[in-house]
Structure 1
Amino acid sequence: MTRLSHERYCAEIVTQTESLVARIAGADLTTTVPSCPEWNVGQLLRHLGGVQRWAETIVRTRATEPVPEGGRELDDYTEEDPAVVGPWLAESAERLAETLRAAGPGTPVWTPVPGYGTTEFFVRRFTHEAAIHRADAFLALGVDYELDREVAIDGIDEWLELGSLPLHFDVHPWMRELLGPGRTLHFHATDTPPESNAEWVVDLTGEVITWRRAHEKAAVAVRGPVTGLLLAIYKRRPITEGGFEVFGDTELLDFWLDRVDFG
């Protein structure tokens, strides 16, 4: 299992953001975002740029303790102009990528998730932050969404890694209800080459949630395009709308999707 390179992540932060900016010209940014219903598209853009600037500050200053997070107070951004917010968002991504390049991989910084503590957390997390929020905006605006397969595969890896952390049981105690005998899920990407090994097993049979890349029988199996799998796991698009094949215990799949809570 191979992650993307530091430089590739830096490039993707810009690529994903620029792709989003390119599609908002002339768009109605007051359109509600179904996957983030508390925001409209303009607020979503301000959120993405705000958290990018927050991460840039952490990396640039080599922060060793929490920094107040930007991009959350969005009441003042209900009537955004694409000509204003677009360049601002593009600059946010460029600044973050440049700062991450200058810092390089493995540089110690504070991270919001215990146990990480280097720039590798931010460069990967903000690649997928941009990719998923681009999907949010495109789905809201009725724009077709595509994502490079390598980025989508890594996005599923990262989601399963962070979403399986035991700390979630403290923050979201209802996730403990997922655990039980015989509870396994298998996700299989059908549009990737064999060498990608784009298959995942989520194992709920122990005392914690675990996952692995593997081709194994499971209580429920889902087969479909890798980008569709990513969006379904992130709860951006229902399984019923992704052209998937589902075999086995569909109630377990629905229960897992209901209880998982990351991103």
Structure 2
Amino acid sequence: MTLEGSLTHEEYCAHLLAETDRFRQIVRTADLSVTVPTCPDWTLAELARHVGGAHRWAGAIVARRATAPVDPADVPDGKGPAGEDAAALDAWLAEGVEGTVAALRQAGPDAEVWTWAPPVQRAGFWARRMAHETVIHRADAALTAGAPFDLPAEVAADCLEEWLQICELPAAMERFAGREDADGDPLFGPGRTIHLHATDAPAGLNAEWVLDLTGSAPSHRRAHEKAAVALRGPLTDVLRVVHRRLPTDSDRVEVLGDRALLDRWLAWATFQ
């Protein structure tokens, strides 16, 4: 099992900076006391501290060439400013991501560091992970603030691909264990396949996936195939559905076939 992405290390670093900048634009102008609908345990200010804390934690791992987990309490200024001071949060976010990207660029993609996704133990994992972590939380922030959410197609496709790869990791399978039978209807079994189809992908970008749940563990492939259920729509909306940032009954997407299977998959493949 690998977690290979389709972008270069420098492209992930650049997208991490760009996504954080767009996240910061929302932080600077929105009501930071509002609850985030897709992360209801957090206000927008708390979401910002989560994002900035993740950046600094990953940056510390890379900068220290850590071969074991770093305690978040040992990350300088990892918690960020308290309260809802937009200017203070904005400056803290900017400083944190700039430090993290500097560490990632200095290390290069192949530097050996700890990750939570063995056997991948290199700095490139963190460049990709932090870029896409920021993408999804910008979607949270945009929804909260009523701001638009768009994304370069190649970034959206790689973000979706990364999530499917993560769901196949033994660590994820262990965390999700037991959920497939929670409603009395097993997730895995014969004929259980899901087709994800982006309807607006530019020429040359393969933005179709088949999730194969016919065995005892999930697998996926980039392909156009008939499946038990299909989710169709613009790429960024398919991505948001997969990450549970958009409901399957949204008028922005179309579900054809066994909707219950898609809903069971989405309930299973989440860290919430």
Q: TM-score range by the shorter chain?
A: over 0.9
Identify the residue that residue 94 of structure 1 maps to in structure 2.
98
Name structure 1 gaps, 5 residues minimum: none
* In structure 2, C-alpha distance between the alignment counterparts of 1:217 and 1:69, rounded to whole Å: 45
Name structure 2 gaps, 5 residues minimum: 181-185
- In structure 2, do the counterparts of structure 1 residues 88 and 76 end up closer, same or farther at CA, with 3 Å as the change threshold? closer
* 2:19 is aligned with 1:16: yes
Counterpart pick for 2:244 among 231, 235, 248: 235
- In structure 2, do the counterparts of structure 1 residues 240 and 115 end up closer, same or farther at CA, with 3 Å as the change threshold? same
CA RMSD across the alignment: 2.0
Q: 1:195-232 deviations in whole A, cap 9, x for unaligned?
A: 21110000000121101101111000111000001111
* Alpha-carbon shift at residue 242 of structure 1 (Å): 5.0
Contact 1:168/1:175 (<8 A) preserved:
no
Q: Name the TM-score, length of structure 1 as normaliser.
A: 0.94
Contact 2:49/2:80 (<8 A) preserved:
no
* In structure 1, C-alpha distance between the alignment counterparts of 2:251 and 2:149, rounded to whole Å: 12
* In structure 1, C-alpha distance between the alignment counterparts of 2:168 and 2:119, rounded to whole Å: 13
SS at match of 2:232: strand
Query: Which one is further off, 147-156 or 23-32?
Result: 23-32
* Alpha-carbon shift at residue 25 of structure 1 (Å): 2.4
* Alpha-carbon shift at residue 98 of structure 1 (Å): 1.0
Contact 2:110/2:124 (<8 A) preserved:
yes
Query: Which one is further off, 40-49 or 240-249?
Result: 240-249
* Alpha-carbon shift at residue 109 of structure 1 (Å): 0.3
Matches within 5 A, 1:159-198: 159-176=163-180, 177-198=186-207
* In structure 2, C-alpha distance between the alignment counterparts of 1:22 and 1:131, rounded to whole Å: 14
* Alpha-carbon shift at residue 23 of structure 1 (Å): 2.5
SS at match of 1:202: strand
User: Between the two proteins, what is the percent identity of the paired residues?
Assistant: 46
* In structure 1, C-alpha distance between the alignment counterparts of 2:195 and 2:6, rounded to whole Å: 21
Contact 1:66/1:110 (<8 A) preserved:
yes
Q: 1:80-128 deviations in whole A, cap 9, x for unaligned?
A: 1111100110111111111101101111101112211001110100000
The one-letter code sitting in structure 2 at the alignment partner of 1:229 is: V
* In structure 1, C-alpha distance between the alignment counterparts of 2:81 and 2:101, rounded to whole Å: 27
Identify the residue that residue 60 of structure 1 maps to in structure 2.
63
* Alpha-carbon shift at residue 194 of structure 1 (Å): 3.9
* In structure 2, C-alpha distance between the alignment counterparts of 1:169 and 1:132, rounded to whole Å: 21
